[in-house]
Amino acid sequence: MKIVCVGALLLASTSTDSLCAAGQPDSHPMPPVILISIDTLRADHVGAYAYKRVATPNIDAFATGGTVFENIECQTPLTLPSHTSLLTSTYPFANGIQENAEMIPPGAVTLANVLKSNGYKTAAFVSSVFLEREMGLDQGFDTYDSPFNFAAFSPVSGEMFFGGAPDASYVARERREGALTVHAALRWLAANRGWPVFVFVHLFELHTPYTVPEREGISRYDAQLELEDEIVGRLKTALTQSGWWDKSLTVLFSDHGEGLGDHGEQSHGYFIYESTLHVPLIFHWPAGHSGPPQRARQTGGLIDVAPTILEFLHVPAPALFAGASLFAAGQRAVYSESLHTHDSFGWAPLRSVRVGNYKYIEAPKAELYDLEKDPTERSNIVLTNPGTARALRAQLEKLLASHAPRRVTAPAGSTTPETEKLLASLGYLGRGPQGRGTSAGADPKDRLAEFHLYEKAIDQVADRHLDAAVVLLKQVLAQDATNTLARRDLASCYLDMHDYAKARVNFQQVVRVAAEDYPSQFGLGIAAKHLGLVDEAHTHLEVACRLAPQATQCRHELDTLPQKSKSLPQ
């Protein structure tokens, strides 16, 4: 068989008793690379970044013999798009993955691809449905351990929906405990000792809902962080005891932060302030490696992580990578975005660029901050510094133009030409959603109260208080009748309450502007079925099944419908 003997980088025919096959690469092997993602971790809540309210000793331990990068921004504060930007070193607007429920197209060039082509065995172990295999982030990984199987997706809301029959213990769950993820990763490492390996470990404890109660003087987020730090500690101890720690390049980072009430945002994805963009990034170097500083202040993005790893390994970065090594000289423009409120509610997208200490946010009401003097972004200086704002806006436009996608990436669940023709004939492809390139729409800053009202409604839905949820969702729609996501959630409430006529009317309004939304097409089909509208039920369930071909629930509903009525002869 063919085996890559890394170090010599010689591809040669060899028998199973060779040094490589025996787990003994040549005397100058490329080091193992271990990438650890702590989902939803704010940089300013980590001890290595001067946080004092709780201790994070195990995370901080990565800084001993490592480099703490102090000014790193994620490119978008959502799990799948952020990890995609990191692993492909491309911008969200260029790779097309700007929501959690969008599929990465085949042929993406990932860090795993590059390392695999250079002789590494590659494996990923993920703790959230947002990174499940179906989303396409498994490209380049020999092993992709993702015990989830959500068969349907909605780019409108960035949600996954369970639509299939369970075939694994976690198939209908949204997360896996970090301890189990770590255990799976350690088992794989033990089975691949002696090989150059690239391992990606994703932990999800810090993402809501939390499992640890609030303690006196300590927020639930910080209490949850202490639990996550313990899990990281168990991983580090096992790596140390098994000999991986000293010989590996180990990189710890977060995909995005958490609002925690800053600027009125509790979670993430709504705004692009530092509370959700500023993330920790710590490189722990193999034992004996010297040269990099203990702390690095230059600005950079997660998009720069893969090129930095490849530079350390002396492996050329692919031409498609848009990032650069974090040790490269010169000041860089760091781009970030969020289109979540645009995609879900039709409001304006948010885009930012940071150069040095200055950060500009492009919005209907533009913002400019000096992060050195105003790290929490409380004083918008765009009116008093128009020259700086113009210069940064020009940088933003240049960056967007220079990395524009060469082709349009179809979102998850895009309709086929046949589906589009069918929907158009039924009047369901009217004005359509606004294009992603437009800056039209309300400023999210001006719609925060409406968003909080929507969040309250969703909390009521989660608690199954559907009557209360309906009241709140109607209040949202009274303020903005075009709010697609609120309309869909109202229709879903009516469906659960068996008020099929009201469910149908509201789902119809949604699919007129979001024909590719699986839950709306499915819900409309179910409502029509219960109203005895068999032909209409067939139409929308057929569309839903095309959008989510793995959703056995949809196929079952379609197969059990009475046959369509036959057309009368002319």
pLDDT at 15: 27
Does residue 374 contact residue 387 with C-beta atoms inside 8 Å? no
Compute φ and ψ for 200, nearest 5 degrees. Answer: -110, 120
pLDDT-derived band at 411 (thresholds 50, 70, 90) equals: very low
3-state secondary structure of 500: helix
- Interval 360-376: pLDDT, tens: 999 999 999 999 999 99
Give the rounded percent of residues in the chain with a pLDDT score beyond 90.
79
pLDDT-derived band at 567 (thresholds 50, 70, 90) equals: low
How far does the chain reach from its first CA to its final CA, in angstroms? 68
pLDDT-derived band at 290 (thresholds 50, 70, 90) equals: confident
Rounded distance between C-alpha atoms, residue 326 and residue 313, angstroms: 14
pLDDT at 436: 55
Q: Is 314 exposed, middle or buried (0-12, 13-18, 19+ CB in 10 A)?
A: exposed
- Domain positions in the chain are 31-158+170-326, 424-559
Among 524, 31, 440, smallest CA distance to 243 is for 31
Rounded distance between C-alpha atoms, residue 270 and residue 264, angstroms: 10
DSSP conformation class of 160? E
CATH fold of 31-158+170-326:
Alkaline Phosphatase, subunit A (3.40.720)
Among 35, 89, 32, smallest CA distance to 62 is for 35
- Interval 206-243: pLDDT, tens: 999 999 988 889 999 999 999 999 999 999 999 999 99
- Rounded to the nearest integer, the mean pLDDT of the chain is 88
Rounded distance between C-alpha atoms, residue 421 and residue 428, angstroms: 10
Does residue 511 contact residue 375 with C-beta atoms inside 8 Å? no
pLDDT at 214: 83
User: Is beta strand 2-5 parallel, antiparallel or unpaired with respect to 10-13?
Assistant: antiparallel
Average pLDDT over residues 88-109: 95
Amino acid letter, 426: L
Does residue 30 contact residue 313 with C-beta atoms inside 8 Å? yes
Residue with the two structure tokens 């170090």: 7
- Sign of the torsion angle spanned by Cα atoms 172, 467, 495, 456: negative
Whether 416 shows a pLDDT value over 60: the answer reads no
- Interval 105-138: pLDDT, tens: 999 999 999 999 999 999 999 999 999 999 999 9
Task: Write b or e for each residue in 93-105: b if 16 or more Cβ atoms lie within 10 A of its Cβ, otherwise e.
Answer: bbbbbbbbbbbbe
Other CB atoms within a 10 A radius of the CB of residue 478 amount to: 9
pLDDT at 20: 31
- Interval 423-447: pLDDT, tens: 444 444 433 334 455 668 999 999 9
Task: Write b or e for each residue in 394-430: b if 16 or more Cβ atoms lie within 10 A of its Cβ, otherwise e.
Answer: ebbeebbeeeeeeeebebbbebeeebbebbeeeebbe
Whether 172 shows a pLDDT value over 60: the answer reads no
pLDDT at 492: 97
CATH fold of 424-559:
1.25.40
Residues 6+ apart with CB under 8 A from 108: 88, 95, 136, 139
